[in-house]
Amino acid sequence: MPNDRKLHTDTRIVHAGRDFDSGIGRPFNPPVVRWSSVLFDNLKRMRETESRGQLSYGANGNPTAQALEAFVTELEGGHGTRLYATGLAAIAQMFQSYLRPGDHVLITDAVYGPVRRLANNFLAPFGIEFEYFAADGCDIESLIRPNTAMVYAEVPGSLAFEMCDLPALSTLCKRHDILLAVDNTWGSGVLYRPLQLGADISVMALTKYIAGHSDVMMGSVTTTEACWETLTRMNTAVGNTVSPDDAYLVLRGARTVRARLAMHQQHALQVAEWLQARPEVARVLHPALPDDPSHALWQRDFSGANGLLSFEFKQRDPEVIDRFVAALKLFGIGYSWGGFESLVSVVTTRGTRSVADWSTHGPMLRLHVGLENPDDLIRDLEAGFAAIG
């Protein structure tokens, strides 16, 4: 792409990852290149390719995936990117690359739920200690040990969208020579750029807003130059790669991510403000709302919001959510988010928090507000409230 660091994000999204040269002309979208064996004209060419670290076998990647890696690197403002089959696989590979037996890692209490399972089933058996710090980072300095090797944050959190002060966290980590890794799926490299705020590693589930069409799974890890060699060495050692067909789908969807995010934000804010006025709702959690506890940090560090929000019922009966969700027609019941469609899921606090006490909260739902007309979505939610009386 044009080597102009002053280009706006919108322009970079269109041009990044398009350096493929067919030898005849350059296509707008890099083609799907399926290969396992790679043929060379002679041994000299093979040796030169390997010495330059270029692709020489399918287990090392493919040109379509390389184009997506270049795109994500540009989006995140990093040095390099590696791709994985899912977002969780990206997190697991990141831990495997940088942590060793005897190390200690601090993980945000607001972390994506399956990471807790990963910590129990992978980190602990391999002698890597872990504990959770408050989602806003208020207690983290007191938890640092001599063997603390990494802080793993998720900004904002998966369920209540709590923020931590990432620049301050980066300053603390650098003072103690600790790596700072961040799950940036919510910000998607468009709304939030952790590497520019002092993080060393940024992880994303490309499944969500980057791909945007609910038909492909993928994760990414992007690093600074100082952290790159460690990641890519482990990646080569274990033979991680992704399908060129999947990489093509993600890259194709990614071209419209900025426009889609703007619509998601607009629709979600309309729904969130409507929910705030409902007498059945105790609170609405969405960082773009002025009265949200994380609003000031969101306003300082983010360039926008997305379609996610959570809300708490005033009624304490947990069955209220079953009756409410059963009445919905447009909000699909399912996991994930970031696609064009609206979804609803239950905010389950049991087993998902170690530090925060959520025992005083009422039943909660998380909504992903999609690209449907928000007036239609509000009418759908009205039916839910009517069902709970």
pLDDT digits (tens, 9 = 90+) for 154-210: 999 989 999 999 999 999 999 999 999 999 999 999 999 999 999 999 999 999 999
- Verify that 122 and 174 share a domain, yes or no: yes
80 φ/ψ angles, rounded to the nearest 5 degrees: -165, 160
DSSP, res 31:
P
Over pLDDT 90: what percentage of the chain? 77
281 exposure class (CB count in 10 Å sphere: 0-12, 13-18, 19+): middle
- Verify that 328 and 229 share a domain, yes or no: no
- Verify that 115 and 199 share a domain, yes or no: yes
- Verify that 119 and 232 share a domain, yes or no: yes
Q: In sequence order, what E strands does 39-99 have? A: 80-84
- Verify that 99 and 243 share a domain, yes or no: yes
Residue 344 in this model has a pLDDT that exceeds 90: yes
What CATH number is given to the structural domain containing 278? 3.90.1150.10
Residue 23 lies in a domain: yes
Q: For 215-234, give the DSSP string.
A: S---EEEEE-HHHHHHHHHH
- Verify that 169 and 67 share a domain, yes or no: yes
Instruction: List, for residues 325-336, the tens digit of each pLDDT value.
Output: 999 999 999 989
- Verify that 57 and 206 share a domain, yes or no: yes
Q: In whole angstroms, what is the distance from residue 188 CA to residue 210 CA?
A: 7
Count how many domains the chain has: 2
* Confidence at residue 358, expressed as pLDDT on a 0 to 100 scale: 66
- Verify that 227 and 262 share a domain, yes or no: no
> Which residues span the domain enclosing 164?
9-254
**Structure tokens, 227:** 């952290």
Q: In whole angstroms, what is the distance from residue 133 CA to residue 109 CA?
A: 6
Residue 81 lies in a domain: yes
- Verify that 170 and 264 share a domain, yes or no: no
